[in-house]
Amino acid sequence: MNRETDKNEQVPKAMEITSPRTAEQPGPQIPKTGTQYEAGHGPNDGHDHGDDDHDHDETASYVPTIISLVLLLGGILLDYLDVPWFTTYVRLAVYGIAYLLVGGKVVWHALRNITKGNVFNEFFLMSMATIGAFYIGEYAEGVAVMLFYVIGEHFQEAAVARSRKSIKDLIDNRPEIVTVLRNGQATEVKPQQVSIGDTIQIKAGEKVALDGEILSEQSSFNTAALTGESKPDTKSKGEKVLAGMINLDKVIDIKVTSAYEDSALSKILKLVEDAGSRKAKTQQFITRFAKIYTPIVVFAALGLALLPYFFVADYVFNDWLYRALIFLVISCPCALVISVPLGYFGGIGAASRNGILFKGSNFLDLITTVDTIVMDKTGTLTEGVFKVQEIKTYGLPETELVALTAALESKSSHPVAQAVVQHAGDSYKHLTVSEVEEISGHGLKGTVDGKSVMAGNGKMMHKFHISYDPEIDAIVDTIVMVAIENQFAGYITIADKIKDDAPETVRQLHALGITNITMLSGDKDSIVQQVAASLKIDKAYGGLLPQDKVSKVEELKQQGRTVAFVGDGINDAPVITLADVGLAMGAMGSDAAIETADVVIQNDQPSKIATAIHIGKATKQIVWQNIGLAFGVKLLVMAFGAFGVATMWEAVFADVGVAFLAILNAIRIQRMNFGKKD
């Protein structure tokens, strides 16, 4: 699917055979303009087939189907009235035209597939059954089978188009024109023509078209398109603003930091559109099953037509051929190979509307099997917005300690470092900083105005043999210890806040049967244990280095547990990759999150973890409902057909009717409400 395609591009005007049923990777897609796929070039063959929505001109694609339906109903009426002239060639011509209008391309694709060695597929089954019906004189039934098959195709296309449109309308309605300020003049151009570093102007009520950094003092934004939450988010000068956000307050200026195709929203859209390529195990099973199942039913039908000759006294070939044709029609695995991928696609769409992005349907399945959830603390369960609480100095003024520490910490993007910098204001900006070294899991060291300065945790002080009062380790809050010229100079305490929905998140996860919720953090253990106790988390470990987190997750996996890890997607990238399911929290603009996580939660609400599991469970339930429905009805009608009880009309229902019901059931997930549940 190509999001940069012209908005006015339309789907084919002529009816296309768009079934994913014989493709290498079955999955619902909309064919690209002018494309009529051949054998091996189905909708999900790995090529881009477009996703543009149908408009009013699409009715042209229904014209052959409508004409065929009229001819079929007219023929049945003339047969019923026993009109004298409606016999032999006239009757064959009417039904033949009705058949070719809907079945011509099906037969053609069957023949093309045969020449390429792909014999046993749905096109072959439908062609054999309907041509056989014509052979024995059951013209109306032959047309009806093909007609209802094509009607089922129309319903399938409409269902997929509606699902895609609901996702696209939700998050991809970026403005087509953006105002750029160049040489003091405001110029309207397309977003694709804006360069990195340009300044764009966003009026109140307008949607941001490109990622950037806010140049104005402050404004509030509706971030619902990205996060699923309508609560306004206030951004101040220098903060990042993402494409898809709506400016609520006043006219603002934004400095563009990403090209149109590299914006966070473009990456999110790419993630959603690619999600169908990673299939769940159920989906993979259905694909393999169809390849084995189809030749079996073809030979079974052949046996049903010929073997009774040796066992039945009053054997009539046409009677047994009719039963075999019914068997063939029923055997088409339509409902299975349409509704299963469509069900997963619906689940991915439902998750997108809730601000959760699954990178593949396989993760929708896998998240339902998780029994252990491991979470980072800062930014996942806590706000990650730190504020200085207390400053304690030894032998030098407080202002000097703060200035020297802030100057060093200004070279780090860590939330704790930023808290010190924010508290210091402009007091450090006249100082020169050099030779800065970041020691992972410890802190920073460098030279500030010619003085050696270290800022970090207790491990940092121990590493460089700097002694301090051991009672400082008992302080619960996050603490930044400062050493100047290899002498302990003081400390700064910083506190974080637990997110509002964190307690509810833990409760919901326990209610879902998650037996082990573990928190891992690089923060000091006393803080970690305090947070864990207040949230009723099962286990918690503090003072961990990045490699320690990896070791903890490896231990859990060695115990046979299915582990989901939730982190910020940057520092925790190795653990996210290691876990069975990796979730990135609040990582809309993070390349690391999008690249390493299996599931991206677009806001900072940990409660979305439980929502993701609910959506996975609902999707799996619908998929198995469809499998049960398809198998149950088909086996029943197959048995009736083999004993001569069912007619071709019942076969049509068992094939197309059940497929239609399965499609309706699959798209039902899009209308489900995944709010807070017990």
* CA 577/CA 584 separation, integer angstroms: 11
First and final C-alpha spacing in the chain: 37
Which residues, other chains included, contact 337 with Cβ-Cβ below 8 Å and sequence gap of 6+?
20, 21, 26, 286, 287, 290
Closest to 436 (Cα-Cα) out of 423, 425, 448, 427: 448
Determine the residue type at 452: S
Residues facing 478 on adjacent strands: 494
* CA 476/CA 473 separation, integer angstroms: 8
Q: Which two tokens stand for residue 361?
A: 């349907």
* CA 391/CA 423 separation, integer angstroms: 11
* Residues constituting the chain: 678
The catalytic position among 51, 233, 365, 376 is: 376
CA distances from 591 to 258, 272, 587 (A): 12, 15, 8
- Render the burial of 192-228: b for 16+ CB within 10 Å, e for the rest: eebeeebebbbeeebbbbbbbebbbeebbbbbbbbbb
* CA 286/CA 60 separation, integer angstroms: 33
Determine the residue type at 484: I
* CA 445/CA 455 separation, integer angstroms: 6
* CA 89/CA 180 separation, integer angstroms: 70
* CA 441/CA 540 separation, integer angstroms: 17
Active site (annotated) includes residue 376: yes
Q: Which two tokens stand for residue 408?
A: 């060093």
* CA 670/CA 647 separation, integer angstroms: 36
* CA 177/CA 355 separation, integer angstroms: 26
Closest to 293 (Cα-Cα) out of 335, 344, 342: 335
- How are beta strands 433-439 and 443-448 bridged, if at all? antiparallel
* CA 284/CA 344 separation, integer angstroms: 12
For residue 53, with 0-12 CB atoms within 10 Å meaning exposed, 13-18 middle and 19 or more buried, which class applies? middle
Q: Which two tokens stand for residue 419?
A: 């808290």
Residues facing 324 on adjacent strands: none
**Residues labelled as active-site residues:** 376
